[in-house]
Structure 1
Amino acid sequence: MGNYIPNQSSLLPQQLATELFNAGRSRDQQPAGTYAREVLEQLLIDLSWSSSRLEGNSKSLLDTKELFELGEQVGPLDEDTLMLLNHKNAIEFMVDAVPTQGITVPIIVDLQAKLMKDLLKDSRDIGSIRQRVVNIHGSVYTPSNIPTLLEETLKVIIDKVRHIRNPVEAAFFLWVNVAYLQPFADGNKRTSRLSANMPLMLYNCAPLSFLDVERNDYATAMLGVYEQRNVAAAVELFEFIYRRSIEKYSVLRASLGVPDPLRARYRQALNELMQFVVFYGRTLEDAFLQVPVDAADLAALRVIANTELDHMEQYNCARYNLARGMTQRWIDAGRPR
């Protein structure tokens, strides 16, 4: 990493990086993060499940979908459930923060904190640079300069990423270097997987979900990086998983681009319904009494309205002319409707 010069050096073959960028980028001129937000519902499931599975999580993809639909109303939270919910919260944080703040060390640190919430015995290891070192004999020691060296090296990594023009090369660079540096006491691999999405998000490229990766293949790729500083296996794995992601999310995004005629017809009505519920604190049924809707469309529009309220977040509330702070207070209150 020390000899890497952005836009002169390349960890990915340059032709491959260019090919993947051209295949994965959005052709639309839209604000940073638009692509990720458009496919966010599916991305939350895919990336949370696949990243957790690589950590040994036993929950299925269907379990993950059902969990996210229920939220934290599922009863006692075991470690596997916590891991999945933490991934979901971390991805939502990243999609909200990165387009406005860019890629920074504090965001990487906050990402690790969200991923490891309630999963580590020592809370000092959550959202902080690693303080301890374990040698090859398993002994733990705490040299005073370790946190400083790790943070300075992480800053160098982030600075180089911010200067790499090809976001696919930047994603790969961030993924392998955060994993190799291991700046945190735990959660380094999952932090590296999620953070690899940051450059892609800023340039509106298809996200990277790590679906269909076998744990042995992932371990082989990481061992090449850790033990030999050889990225050949990681390059091969990255190409496979990113091509899969491009294929999946481009198809999904294209399908979302077809306007729903019912949504289009009741565009203003939906806006008023969201205002009544979130801003004025009315029930959805009361709101429907105030908004004219054809009887034949009432049931279908009720489903759409409930879905919109389920998916209402700070980052998407502006489309209904709702302020972020007010929307967050409504969410914190349990999404009353």
Structure 2
Amino acid sequence: MPLVEEIDQRRFNVIDSKVRRFYQIPDSNPGFRRAKIEQYFRHIYHSNAIEGNTLSLAQTRSILETRLAVGGKSLLEQNEVLGLDAALRFLNSTLLRGHHTTITLSTILELHRHVLSFVDPSEAGNLRHTQVFIADHNPPPPDSVLDLMNELVTWLNGDQLSDVHPIELAALTHWKLVYIHPFYDGNGRTARLLMNLILMRAGLPPAIIKLEDRQAYYEHLKTANEGDVRPFIRFIASCTERTIDEYLIAAEPHQIEPEVQRLPSEPSVVKLELPEPYSLSWSAWPFALSSIPTHKPQPPSASRRPIRYAELVDPIELPQVIYLEG
């Protein structure tokens, strides 16, 4: 039985209707194309900023576009930008491919390995072996982390989730991972990536939890840890709806095709298009979503709705990544 009540289901229905409008936006819509590029930079900026990174959005974008360090900021913070970028590339090139349909423990560890690959390679992709302490929550002891992570993966791929809305599933998975706190560092960033993996596999655009949401974000996580996860589910639903609204608003001054012309008649893929290298936006690797046919089955951990499956194309001739610390 899903945790949300009837009023929450109505909220999901509203979001689903906006997703249908989202799929009416043609890929050639100039406002939509700009929004896709901006969302990529914002995703990295906000996910790092929530964790205390002091780089601005403009500085984050500069690092991604030039691969050069910016003055007056720590190399650690700048390497955090490269780490999230590497994790998103991995998500793009591997995790949303059709042959990677099941989210496994290795999937989560590999996501984390990319997140910390430029910051702390010795901890990247490894479960913690020491007790950690964070505000308002005492994570489980280290000797229980492996079992809890295996339980999480088993739950995530279980048939009992077939009727759970993908936003609820993404939110629950996010909270469960943060509750276990399986890593010494990078738990929040990994949880947000995993959440968006689930959303995108379900045909939804990746949600951004913004820096200005930080207090509410942690308060809702605290409430979930105390036994009521419903406010956190509603919070993630709000963030998801806001992201969809931003795409719709960006496309509004331009033409939106009639629904019959845009919605796919058969199962489709949410595909992230990558710009050609060395174009004006070659380094943006935006969250560009478009529908293409597919007949690949959808795992329970992806969505309750069998009409969409997500896949990303490989980046073309990626530039060499420069370690800022070396």
TM interval, short-chain normalised: 0.5 to 0.7
Corresponding residue for 2:43?
47
Partner Cα separation in structure 2 for residue 210 and residue 51 of structure 1: 7
What's the secondary structure of 1:125's corresponding residue? coil
Q: Which amino acid aligns with 2:60?
A: T
Pairs within 5 Å for 1:124-143: 124-134=122-132
2:233 pairs with one of 226, 232, 235? 235
User: C-alpha displacement at 1:247, in angstroms?
Assistant: 0.8
CA contact (8 A) 1:212 1:241 kept: no
Specify the alignment match of 2:263 in structure 1. none
- What 5-or-longer segments of structure 1 have no aligned partner? 1-7, 31-35, 259-273, 279-304, 317-322
Map of 1:227-266 to 2, 5 A cutoff?
Answer: 228-252=226-250
Q: What SS class does the counterpart of residue 63 from structure 2 fall into?
A: helix
Q: Answer whether contact 1:64 1:84 (CA < 8 A) is retained.
A: yes
Partner in structure 1 of residue 192 of structure 2: 193
Tell me the amino acid that sits aligned with residue 18 of structure 1: N
Whichever residue aligns with residue 221 of structure 1, its letter is: H
Separation in 2, partners of 1:45, 1:149 = 35
Counterparts of 2:53 and 2:224, CA distance in 1: 23
Q: Distance in 1 between matches of 2:254 and 2:281?
A: 15
Larger radius of gyration: 1
Which residue identity does 1:60 align to in structure 2? S
TM-score, L = length of structure 1: 0.64
1:110-121 residue pairs with structure 2 within 5 A?
A: 110-120=110-120
* Aligned counterpart, 1:284: none
Other structure's SS at 2:157 match: helix
Query: Which residue matches 1:306?
Result: 279
Query: Which stretches in structure 2 are left out of the alignment for 5+ residues?
Result: 27-31, 257-275, 290-312
- Matched with 1:5 is none
In structure 2, the partner of 1:302 is none
Residue by residue, what CA displacement relative to the aligned partner does 1:194-224 show, whole Å, maximum 9, x if unpaired?
A: 2111122113212201135332222211211
Residue 170 (structure 2) pairs with residue 171 (structure 1): yes
1:183 matches 2:193: no
Distance between the aligned counterparts of 2:285 and 2:162, measured in 1? 34
Distance 1:78 1:90 in 2: 18
Contact 2:44–2:81 (8 Å) recurs in 1: yes
How far apart are the structure 2 equivalents of 1:37 and 1:109?
A: 32
Aligned AA (2:41): I
**1:11 to 1:176, Cα distance in 2 relative to 1, 3 A:** farther
Percent identity between matched residues is 18
What residue number does 1:9 align with? 2
Structure 1 counterpart of 2:64, from 65, 68, 79 = 68
1:150, distance to aligned residue in structure 2 (A)? 2.8
Note the C-alpha offset of 1:142.
Answer: 7.4
Cα contact 1:154–1:183 (8 A) shared by 2: no
Change (3 A) 1:77 1:178: same
What is the aligned partner in structure 1 of residue 14 from structure 2?
Answer: 19
Where relative contact order (Cα < 8 A, 6+ residues apart) is larger, the structure is 2
- CA–CA distance in 1 between the matches of 2:37 and 2:77? 20
One-letter amino acid matched to 2:94 = A
The 8 Å contact of residues 50 and 211 in structure 1, kept in 2 or not, is answered as yes
Residue 218 of structure 2 aligns with which residue?
219
CA separation of 1:126 and 1:163: change in aligned 2, threshold 3 A: farther
Deviation larger for 67-76 or 228-237:
67-76
The number of aligned residues is 264
Inter-partner Cα distance in structure 2 for 1:163 and 1:134: 34
Matched, 1:57 2:53: yes
Distance change (3 Å), C-alpha of 1:312 and 1:23: closer
Q: Secondary structure at 1:179's aligned position in 2? A: helix
State the match for 2:303 in structure 1: none
The verdict on how the C-alpha distance between 1:85 and 1:308 changes in structure 2, with shifts beyond 3 A counting, is closer
CA distance in 2, matches of 1:234, 1:114: 26
Evaluate the alpha carbon distance shift between residue 203 and residue 78 of structure 1 in structure 2; reply closer, same or farther with a 3 A threshold: same
2: CA distance, partners of 1:77 / 1:257: 44
| Alignment RMSD (CA, Å) | 4.1
TM-aligned CA deviation for residue 333 of structure 1: 9.5
Q: Given the superposition, is the C-alpha separation of residues 309 and 235 from structure 1 closer, same or farther in structure 2, using an over 3 Å criterion?
A: closer
**Structure in which a larger fraction of residues adopt helix:** 1
